[in-house]
Amino acid sequence: MKILLLAVPFIALSGCATTSTGAVSAGPDTFVVSRQAGAFPSGREPLLTEALAEAGTTCAAMKKTLKLVSAVENPGPYILGNYPKATVVFSCI
């Protein structure tokens, strides 16, 4: 019972965490990474930086170099699920 009482707050807060799509293929050697803040964003999430780091890690795993195609950052507003989001389109060359 005590474990259940401890687990409930962590499960409830997990919906508030920053989420990532991971690197999704968008063509030959081209990928998209998207990161979105959770339900209660503080406004301090380095979403674009995290997305770029994930892009760099993806290319490094393939032993290739990151080439940024585009980067878009949406700061909000925080209504109707429109939370802060950053999307990076990149190629690994």
- Domain of 82 in residue numbering reads as 21-92
Residue 4 within a domain: no
Number of domains into which the chain is organized: 1
Look at residue 14 and tell me if it is in a domain. no
Asked if residue 13 belongs to a domain, the reply is no
44: in domain: yes
Q: What is the pLDDT at residue 83? A: 83
Quick one: how far is CA 82 from the chain centroid? 14
Tokens of 55: 């892009």
pLDDT averages per 10-residue partition of the chain, 93 residues: 42 50 88 84 75 95 96 80 88 95
Q: What pLDDT, on a 0 to 100 scale, did the predictor assign at position 90?
A: 97
Both tokens of 68, joined, read 């940024």
Lookup: tokens for 58? 């993806």
Instruction: Tell me how far apart the alpha carbons of residues 39 and 19 are, in angstroms, rounded to a whole number.
Output: 11
